[in-house]
Amino acid sequence: MAIKSMETFLKEASVLQDENPQKLHLLEQALNSAVTQNDLLKQYDTRLKIVEVASFSGKLEKALMHFGWCVSQHDNDPLIFPLKSLLWKYKYIMSIAPKFHTISLDKINTLEENMERHYRQAGCSIRPVKVTLASSTYFKGEATEGLSLFLQSLGYQRDYYADCVACELNLKVSLLVANAKDEDAVSQSQVLISGVNHCAEVPHLTYSELLPSCTRLGDEQLAQKCLTKGYQLIASNPVYLPQMGMQLQYCALNGLLALGISRFQGHIHWWQDALCHWSLYEFELGAMLLFIAAAAEQEEVTLNLPESFSCYSSTGVYKTQVLADYFKQKLMVNTRGFDQRNGNDFFGVRVAQSQVLLSERTETNNVSIT
Amino acid sequence: MDILEQRFQVNLSGIIDLLSQHLYSGPQVFVRELLQNGVDAITARAHDEPNCEKRLTVEILSNRLEVTDSGIGLTEEEIHRFLSVIGQSSKRDLMGKQLDYIGQFGIGLLACFMVSDEITLQTKSANSPLQSWQWTGKPDGTYSVEQIDLDMPIGTRVILNANNQGKQYLEAKELLHWLNYYGKYLPYEINFINGKQHQRISALSIPWDYESTNKSNFNDKALTAAQDYFNGPFFDIIPFQTLKGKVKGIAYISAQPGALNGQQHHQIFLKGMRLSDTAHNILPEWAFFVNTIINAEDLSPTASRESLYQDETLAQCCEELGEQLIEYLIDMSTYSEQKFSHFVEIHQLSLKSLAAKNDYFCKKITPHLSFLTSKGRMKLIDYIAQNAILSIINNIDEFRQISQISNSKSQCVLCTGFAFDQEIIYKYAQLEGLEVKVVDPQSTVSQLQDVTQQGLLTFLKRINTMLNSEDVLVTLKHFEPVEVAALFVSSEKQMFISTAKKIQEQTDDFWGGIIDGVTDTSKTYQSNELCLNASNELVLQLSQLDDAELLKTYLQVLYVQSLLMGNFAVGDKELSLLNQGLLYLMNTGLNSLISNNNTCH
């Protein structure tokens, strides 16, 4: 059934925001037509659009896949498929790849080398390469090294391909948080959360990523902002699944179980649809902590969860311990995945530390689910 | 302690600076103020003397401008009262008479100080026709009044001598432009004189006076009026009027799609005087497809007279105009279906984007929008009449899969995979309390009737491994329409894996490995499904076929055909399968024919 032409799909897609899932569907429809027509140029253009939209709508695996196709075309015929069209998107890909623990360190390192080679080949500053390297080092389980690399990256020249100031600063803040340099993180984040520096993803990311520091510093006022304003900014785009996980983690660790459970219910479908291991890890860690904390309070909880959820109960009544165990099992798969890939225990230690913190806090907190 | 009550001091040159720099958009507004005063003076005179001469003349004499009206004129006492007190308007004092004055603020004449360092006003009042008076005012706040011995008719003449800033505005070309801009549709005759050049400014025909014209003349007149303001082509031209604000006008429906959230263009007149071409608050924001020429008798301008004052009357007027446009659209969708489809086609994305945002517009317009359904395009209102629940598919791929079969079932599904469709349907359902059900291909196909006959079950067993290389699970079910031999069914995740595999074939080992990494998590998902129709004649004949090679070829061709039917991406591999299969089948058919022929011979 010929519903619409490729051009119509592209036009319809062009009026939608990147985070609108329909946009990705429409671009995929346009791509199907280009594939059937065997039109490589149209495929190339459409796939680059898909890389962009998929990166901003949470379909990270699709961004990687289509980018791979585009790089291969470039390698085959650099005149028709120019390098410059790939450089900006390289940054997305480099920040996505390490978040899948099924992508080996060798592959990530080669990808980093390729990115640097391509940036040098195009005569551009390698600052973006160094910034993404700092980010990927964190996902390799080397948070301290990640922060150090980030600080080194600042010595490279900014040019057209550099990330915006807000994005770079946000990365710095998240690396400071990962290194438990909490006061510094909060202080550096001020220009982001006050809106002085902002962009399409900042301070959306910043608020939730500051929550571990809020827990450690006991800064409830900032946490309140992160849980309200920060939530509003991320609530409608599945690309923020990890940040939603961080919100759950904070709620669990700080006795805000009713709020946490409400957010869990509202966004579990993001988790079901996600394939990115780091996104899954953060949400599963939040869900596990939430239900461990809930289990300490009450045996059962009534939830409105989708039928497609593996533990779905038609009555809506769920055993809190069962849910805690379920998410722990899921979490352990991803934790092992990262730690085995990285050859360290960074992700496992994070889980263990969170559990210890939770048990300490559960003893002192008055928690309430209702 | 005694409290001394004192008066504020007003610095007139400061006020003039305030007007010129901050209130008005530019010095050209002095033209409007002079026209306005002249027209109001004629209106005042015509109230008591309906047959009086009603004429306004604007004449340039070197750097000097004279504006003469045949209005009511001023007495000495009125000169002192109205011309010498800022903010005192003769028109406001006369409001009780319900006359149609344009001005009301009493600051208009000050605008002349933006182009002239002195204003001279000569006047003879209809109430005191034996005396003529001259008032001369300066920007420093001083003025003089003297009786003059001048043989002048009843009325007023304002004389300005251009200062440095005013010179360009008193040049014939510039002045003519602004006279036309502000005064073209004023109700009295206005003439421009520059030496030998005599030109009528006021139009002979007013666009919003269309009562006595037939449809054809109305269109001609409206199109002529539009030439000055808008670029066509127009989809339609419609007259409208409101009770609130006493607005009358013409709406030009654009025949070209505008940018989303594009600006409306309205030419707004207040009692015939051009007010603004940048005021957008007269129509609802959703009326993006309409440009208008509007005259309002009863709306208030802001003090700058360059936009409309946002009061209750304007809000009600805006609502009335919105209602009329909605009514126009609904009438069109009811009585001129083809025309409405054309309209929607032009403005589709903007219409949908608004319906997705605006509750009122969504509620009114959505029922009349047509959506792609498994029974063809259908207006939502007709869909709702036949279906209690809104069954939707949010993905075009999935819709294509289901639409082939759901047509024959009682269920009719709506495709909401296009821009804004999903938001609109959810919003509309919420506003009207309707139930929305999301349909997916897998569960729809799983509900189809399984085969039970032993022969068909054996056939299924024979074929279910034949498309292993395509990673497709073959199933056999009864469904309608019987003409559809096979249906390809896939979920988003299944499609992702299939696409990833195809991409891996076109990339090097490095990227192939990375793609492997991201598809690894999906290994547990079931395969795509090729559902053969056990009620289809071809499939039934295939079930009798013994030749395994031939059967496999038929299956491969059916597989690619089902992909094409669903507009799935068909790559080199599938096209090759199709080509090889068709060639094989043709060869086999030809060989069989030749062999039959030889046998006959």
Q: Delimit the domains of chain B by residue range.
A: 12-200, 215-335, 337-444, 449-491+526-597
Nearest CA in chain A to B575: A36
Does A341 or B137 have the greater pLDDT score?
A341
Do B255 and B232 meet the contact criterion of CB atoms below 8 Å apart?
Answer: yes
Is B215-335 CATH 3.30.230.80?
Answer: yes
Task: Look at residue A286 and tell me whether its pLDDT is greater than 90.
Answer: yes
Q: How far apart are the CA of B322 and the nearest CA of chain A, in angstroms?
A: 25
Residues in B closer than 8 angstroms to A26, CB to CB, are 396, 417-419
* Overall average pLDDT of the B176-187 stretch: 92
Do B532 and B539 meet the contact criterion of CB atoms below 8 Å apart?
Answer: yes
Residues in A closer than 8 angstroms to B519, CB to CB, are 61, 65
| Nearest by Cα to A96 from A69, A127, A64 | A64
B20 pLDDT tier (thresholds 50, 70, 90): low
Q: How many CB pairs under 8 A join A and B?
A: 121
| Nearest by Cα to B414 from B443, B382, B446 | B382
DSSP string, B271-293: TTEEEESS--TTS-TT-TTEEEE
What CA–CA distances, in Å, run from B122 to B29, B53, B66, B133? 21, 18, 10, 6
Name residue B377's beta-bridge partners. B372
Tell me if A103 and B503 make a contact (CB, 8 A cut-off).
Answer: no
| Nearest by Cα to B511 from B303, B519, B313, B217 | B519
pLDDT of residue B96: 46
Cross-chain CB nearest to A68 (options B260, B394, B514): B514
Does A226 or B280 have the greater pLDDT score?
A226
Q: Which two tokens stand for residue A253?
A: 């660790």
A1 pLDDT tier (thresholds 50, 70, 90): very low
At B392, give phi and psi (nearest 5°).
-120, 155
Cα B296 to chain centroid, rounded: 22
B214 pLDDT tier (thresholds 50, 70, 90): confident
Does B19 or A299 have the greater pLDDT score?
A299
Q: How many CA atoms lie within 13 A of B272 on its CB side?
A: 24
pLDDT of residue B407: 58
| Nearest by Cα to A215 from A202, A233, A232, A227 | A227
CB atoms within 10 A of CB A304: 9
Distance in Å from the first CA to the final CA of chain B: 138
Cross-chain CB nearest to B511 (options A12, A28, A72): A72
Q: How far apart are the CA of B458 and the nearest CA of chain A, in angstroms?
A: 32
Residues in B closer than 8 angstroms to A107, CB to CB, are 510, 513-514, 517
Residue range A342-361, pLDDT digits in tens: 999 999 999 999 999 999 88
Does B224 or B9 have the greater pLDDT score?
B224
A336 inside 8 A of chain B by CB: no
Do A131 and A163 meet the contact criterion of CB atoms below 8 Å apart?
Answer: yes
pLDDT-wise least confident of A141-145, B306-310, B528-532, B583-587: B306-310
Cross-chain CB nearest to B400 (options A1, A28, A60): A1
Between CA B414 and CA B435 the distance in angstroms is: 13
Amino acid of residue A73: Q
Nearest CA in chain B to A13: B419
pLDDT of residue A254: 96
| Nearby residues of B225 by Cβ (< 8 Å), 6 or more positions away | B207, B250, B293
Burial call A142-153: b when 16+ CB within 10 Å, e when fewer = bbeebbebbeeb
Q: Which of B392, B518, B563, B576 to mutate to test the interface with A (most CBs of A within 10 A)?
A: B518
Nearest CA in chain B to A276: B518
pLDDT of residue A19: 83
Q: Which of B260, B521, B565, B572 to mutate to test the interface with A (most CBs of A within 10 A)?
A: B521
pLDDT of residue B259: 57
Does A365 or B288 have the greater pLDDT score?
B288
| Nearby residues of B354 by Cβ (< 8 Å), 6 or more positions away | B286, B288, B361
C-alpha R_g of chain B: 39
pLDDT over 70 percentage in chain B: 88
Tell me if A65 and B396 make a contact (CB, 8 A cut-off).
Answer: no
Task: Look at residue B267 and tell me whether its pLDDT is greater than 50.
Answer: yes
pLDDT of residue B526: 59
DSSP string, B282-340: TS-TT-TTEEEEEEESS-PBPTTSSSB--SHHHHHHHHHHHHHHHHHHHHHHHH-HHHH
Between CA A317 and CA A300 the distance in angstroms is: 7
At A361, give phi and psi (nearest 5°).
-75, -35
Cross-chain CB nearest to A68 (options B353, B507, B565): B507
Tell me if A107 and B499 make a contact (CB, 8 A cut-off).
Answer: no
* Overall average pLDDT of the A235-256 stretch: 95
Please provide the CATH number assigned to the domain covering B337-444.
Answer: 3.40.50.11260
Does B105 or B175 have the greater pLDDT score?
B175
Task: Look at residue B330 and tell me whether its pLDDT is greater than 90.
Answer: no
Residue range B558-568, pLDDT digits in tens: 999 888 887 77
Tell me if A12 and B349 make a contact (CB, 8 A cut-off).
Answer: yes
pLDDT of residue A366: 53
Tell me if A102 and B395 make a contact (CB, 8 A cut-off).
Answer: no
Report chain B's mean pLDDT, rounded to a whole number.
83
Cα B90 to chain centroid, rounded: 42
A1 inside 8 A of chain B by CB: yes
A150 pLDDT tier (thresholds 50, 70, 90): very high
Q: How far apart are the CA of B483 and the nearest CA of chain A, in angstroms?
A: 15
Residues in B closer than 8 angstroms to A13, CB to CB, are 419
Tell me if A29 and B567 make a contact (CB, 8 A cut-off).
Answer: yes
Between CA B32 and CA A12 the distance in angstroms is: 46
Instruction: Give, to the nearest 10 degrees, the angle between helix B337-357 and helix B421-432.
Output: 80
A110 inside 8 A of chain B by CB: yes
Q: Which two tokens stand for residue A2?
A: 């010929």
Location of structure tokens 């949010």: B394
Cross-chain CB nearest to A15 (options B260, B397, B519): B260
Does B191 or B245 have the greater pLDDT score?
B191
Most confident of A204-213, B11-20, B55-64: A204-213
Do A180 and A144 meet the contact criterion of CB atoms below 8 Å apart?
Answer: no
Between CA A191 and CA A260 the distance in angstroms is: 28
Between CA B253 and CA B219 the distance in angstroms is: 13
Nearest CA in chain B to A66: B503
Cross-chain CB nearest to A65 (options B417, B503, B565): B503
Nearest CA in chain A to B568: A32
Task: Look at residue B215 and tell me whether its pLDDT is greater than 80.
Answer: no
Dihedral angle, C-alpha B580, B582, B585, B587, nearest 10 °: -70
Q: How far apart are the CA of A147 and the nearest CA of chain B, in angstroms?
A: 26
Q: Which CATH class is domain B12-200?
A: alpha beta
What CA–CA distances, in Å, run from B175 to A66, B61, B194? 62, 12, 10
What CA–CA distances, in Å, run from A211 to A214, A331, B306? 5, 20, 51
A369 pLDDT tier (thresholds 50, 70, 90): very low
Amino acid of residue A140: K
pLDDT of residue A370: 42
* ipTM of the complex model: 0.87
Cross-chain CB nearest to A69 (options B503, B516, B567): B503
Q: Give the pairing of strands B389-393 and B435-438.
A: parallel
pLDDT over 70 percentage in chain A: 97
In this structure, which CATH number among 3.30.565.10, 1.20.140.10, 1.20.120.790, 2.40.50.100 belongs to the domain B449-491+526-597? 1.20.120.790
A2 pLDDT tier (thresholds 50, 70, 90): very low
Residues in B closer than 8 angstroms to A103, CB to CB, are 513-514, 517-518
* Overall average pLDDT of the B463-480 stretch: 81
| Nearby residues of A183 by Cβ (< 8 Å), 6 or more positions away | A217
Dihedral angle, C-alpha A332, A337, A338, A340, nearest 10 °: 110
Does B15 or B54 have the greater pLDDT score?
B54
Q: Which of A4, A7, A29, A108 to mutate to test the interface with B (most CBs of B within 10 A)?
A: A29
Residue range A184-222, pLDDT digits in tens: 999 999 999 988 888 889 999 999 999 999 999 999 999
pLDDT of residue B467: 76
pLDDT of residue B408: 54
Residue B366, exposed/middle/buried by CB under 10 A (0-12, 13-18, 19+)?
Answer: buried
Tell me if B567 and A26 make a contact (CB, 8 A cut-off).
Answer: no
Do B567 and B514 meet the contact criterion of CB atoms below 8 Å apart?
Answer: no
A267 inside 8 A of chain B by CB: no
pTM of the model: 0.67
A32 inside 8 A of chain B by CB: yes
CB atoms within 10 A of CB A220: 12
A7 pLDDT tier (thresholds 50, 70, 90): confident
Task: Look at residue B142 and tell me whether its pLDDT is greater than 90.
Answer: no
Q: Give the pairing of strands B116-125 and B128-137.
A: antiparallel
A310 inside 8 A of chain B by CB: no
A88 inside 8 A of chain B by CB: no
* Overall average pLDDT of the A90-94 stretch: 94
Task: Look at residue A46 and tell me whether its pLDDT is greater than 90.
Answer: yes
Name residue B274's beta-bridge partners. B269
Residue range B483-504, pLDDT digits in tens: 889 988 887 777 888 888 888 8
A315 inside 8 A of chain B by CB: no
